[in-house]
Copies of this chain bind each other. A is one copy, B any other.
């Protein structure tokens, strides 16, 4: 995989971080996934190691948790 994936849940912290990440990395290099709306992507995010959002899954499989917005428990509700 060559793209990063930015997981978020639509919270204000998430949206702000999304803009920053896209500016830094380039929109063509990031897939943005709202796991609040797109709940069938939650298991994949958890498997990748996402424990809070926003989080960036890098092409080499590392997770960068950014400015804490919401825990996965909160997202799952």
Contact = CB atoms under 8 A, between A and B. Distances in A.
Interface string A49-77: 00000001011101111111000000000
How many copies, total?
2
A59 B24 CA distance: 9
B66 A64 contact: yes
A53 B15 CA distance: 21
A20 B57 CA distance: 10
B16 A62 contact: yes
A17 interface: yes
A20 B67 contact: no
Interface in A1-45: 4, 16-17, 20-21, 23-25, 29
